[in-house]
Amino acid sequence: MDAPDPNHPDPLDQPTAARLFSLLVASRGRVGTAELAERADVHPNSARLHLRRLAAAGLVRRSREGTGPGRPRHLWSVAPGALIEGESPVAYRELAGWLGQALTANGVGTTQIEDAGEAIGRASAPRAAMRSSAEVLEAALAAMGFRPRCEQHGSRTTFTLANCPYREAAKAQPGVVCVLHRGIARGLVGAIEPAARLTRFEIKDADTAGCVVEIDSEPERNPHVLS
Domains identified in the chain and CATH numbers:
11-78 (1.10.10.10), 88-221 (3.30.1380)
Q: Give the distance, in angstroms, between the CA of residue 202 and the centroid of all CA atoms in the same chain.
A: 18
How far is 205 from 125, CA to CA, in rounded Å? Answer: 27
| Contact call for residues 62 and 56 (beta carbons, < 8 A) | no
Give the three-state DSSP class for 58: coil
Go through the chain and tell me how many residues it has.
227
Give the three-state DSSP class for 73: strand
pLDDT in tens, the chain (227 residues): 566 666 666 777 788 888 888 888 877 778 889 999 999 999 999 999 999 989 988 888 888 876 556 667 888 988 887 766 544 444 555 665 566 556 655 566 788 888 888 998 888 777 655 566 777 788 888 888 888 999 988 889 999 998 888 777 777 777 788 888 899 889 988 888 888 889 999 998 888 889 999 999 887 776 555 54
Secondary structure letter of residue 71 according to DSSP: P
Other Cβ atoms closer than 10 A to 189: 30
The pTM for the full model equals 0.64
